[in-house]
Amino acid sequence: MDPDTWKILLEYFDYRQFLASNPPLRLACIFGGMCLMAAAIHALSPWCQRRLEAFAARKYHLEGGGSAPSGKGAGGKGADGGDGTLNAMDFAMFERVMVNLRRLLYLAILAWGAHMLRLAPAYATAIASLFSIICTITGIAFVASLVPFNLDLYMRRHGETLKTSQTRSLMPIITGIIWAVGLTFLLDNMGFHVSTIIAGLGIVGVAVGLAGQAILADFFSYIVILLDKPFRIGDHVQLAGGKAGDVEYMGPKTTHLRSLEGDLIICANSEMTRGVIVNLGSVRERPVVLEIGVAYETPMDVVRRVPDILREVVDSFPRCSFDRACMLGFGTANYRFQLLYVVRQSGIREFQLTRSAVNLAIQERLNAGHIPSAYPTTHVLLTETPQGAGPAAGAAPAPAADPGASALSLAEDEE
């Protein structure tokens, strides 16, 4: 209804006819019923809220986490445990849902009271239109608060929250879609030609899509990354082009990687979804295969103790788990041993530091046990030719040499 219609209705409102159709006793009963229902909602709402919180705490309580009824948890309303645990729900988001729900119930009470009044058809239609607008807007706000709350509740059962997840960047878009759909429904009920508006927006959308194809490609790739989750913040990934680094930021357009050298690598999201990605950050156990050479001059009793020495070195590191150590075979100048151990729950930096520490500890133990490692050497064998012995038959005469000179026969053993 347009403002002129409301102005006419208010100008020609007949109070005497209204009181004749609605006696004071009837008005008092309607008003009393509205007050009783409002008081019941006001009294029962906190009780229902506590019951819902307790139900969520029992059903979705995470192992090691805690619940904070009515948002009184550690750190304030909606705060999670400081030791990394999660509450059963985000109590601040739950409070917003309950506030919007109470508003809807109060509006329902007002709508009931207006419906019980005996009004002329024009006034009844006007009040119905007014309540339709207010209830629709309040209902949209309720749905817009309920969707992120349920999404956060689902994510908490999988060990994360909406605030700490990259999915939160999509919430403004989801909220905008909810409001757009709700307002379109409201305008259609009010008699506006919504199809014309939608057709115009479609033409604008096509023009924007053609002008920003690259941006839209990166944005939809961002949605694919959020849904498929090939990597997360903090994971160390290696791209098909050879670039590697820790994921620092994922945005609608680009993803930022921090290399081990400290360089910031900015990649388009479409490139991240198009090529092959090796995720090294999601690996919780990293095996290490190490070959060690022990010189042939080492006594056999010492050689037999090499696997035990390697086991002792690996077991001295809490993050390492020994698998096996065995002799692979014979090298050109050494016994070849193979060590296999696992580094548990570490990032790429911690893994490299742990592997380096294990290598240094192994070398220190070998040095302390006087166990030499083989290294490239050249052996020269000297052979003396007896004096007076002539050359073999048919051989070319040897060049002149000083008396007493010796012929050298060299045999090289490259290791």
| Residue 63: pLDDT band with limits 50, 70, 90 | very low
Tell me, letter by letter, the H, E, C secondary structure of the chain.
CCHHHHHHHHHCCCHHHHHHHCCHHHHHHHHHHHHHHHHHHHHHHHHHHHHHHHHHHHHHCCCCCCCCHHHCCCCCCCCCCCCCCCCCCCHHHHHHHHHHHHHHHHHHHHHHHHHHCCCCHHHHHHHHHHHHHHHHHHHHHHHHHHHHHHHHHHHHCCCCCCCCCHHHHHHHHHHHHHHHHHHHHHHHHCCCCHHHHHHHHHHHHHHHHHHCHHHHHHHHHHHHHHHHCCCCCCCEEECCCCCEEEEEEECCCEEEEECCCCCEEEEEHHHHHHCCCEECCCCCEEEEEEEEEEECCCCHHHHHCHHHHHHHHHHCCCCEEEEEEEEEEECCCEEEEEEEEEEECCCHHHHHHHHHHHHHHHHHHHHHCCCCCCCCCCCCCCCCCCCCCCCCCCCCCCCCCCCCCCCCCCCCCCC
- Residue range 117-142, pLDDT digits in tens: 887 777 777 788 888 888 888 989 99
CATH code that applies to domain 285-368: 3.30.70.100
Enumerate the domain spans of the chain: 3-205, 228-279, 285-368
Indicate the pLDDT class of residue 80, thresholds 50, 70 and 90.
low
Task: Output the pLDDT for position 230.
Answer: 84
In this prediction, residues 4-16 reach a mean pLDDT of 62
- List pLDDT tens digits, range 270-285: 888 887 888 877 677 8
In the chain, % of residues over pLDDT 90: 9
- Stronger pLDDT, 389 or 51, i.e. the higher one: 51
The residue-averaged pLDDT of 182-197 equals 76
The mean pLDDT of the chain is: 77
Q: What pLDDT does residue 387 have? A: 64
> Domain 228-279 - what CATH class?
mainly beta
Tell me: the pLDDT tens digits for 312-367? Answer: 999 999 889 899 999 988 888 788 999 999 988 667 778 888 899 999 999 999 88
pLDDT in tens, 289-305: 999 888 888 889 888 99
The answer to whether residue 188 scores a pLDDT higher than 90 is: no
- Do domains 228-279 and 285-368 share one topology? The answer is no
